[in-house]
Amino acid sequence: MIPASGIDLSACEDPACTAVHLILTDDDGVEFAVASLEPDQARKLAVQLNAWADRSEASALREAGRLT
């Protein structure tokens, strides 16, 4: 896994742009992944990220004995 210290989700400055831009940076601020997504793709990604985060948190709580 590549540690990402920065995640930037933003829309274009150009009002005509309809994309959502995902920019991942390392600890030094160097971009290592960039993606331009359509709004529906960005929403699907957000749903998946939330589900993965929930599973990761539940796993950590189980390991700590705070979730059965």
**Reported pTM:** 0.63
Q: With 80 as the cut, is the pLDDT of residue 40 above it?
A: yes
- Which alpha helices (DSSP H) does the chain contain, by range? 39-63
Domain residue extents for the chain: 6-63
Q: With 80 as the cut, is the pLDDT of residue 37 above it?
A: yes
What is the average per-residue pLDDT within 16-25?
83
What is the average per-residue pLDDT within 44-49?
92
pLDDT on residue 11: 57
pLDDT on residue 4: 52
Going by pLDDT thresholds of 50, 70 and 90, the confidence category of residue 32 is confident
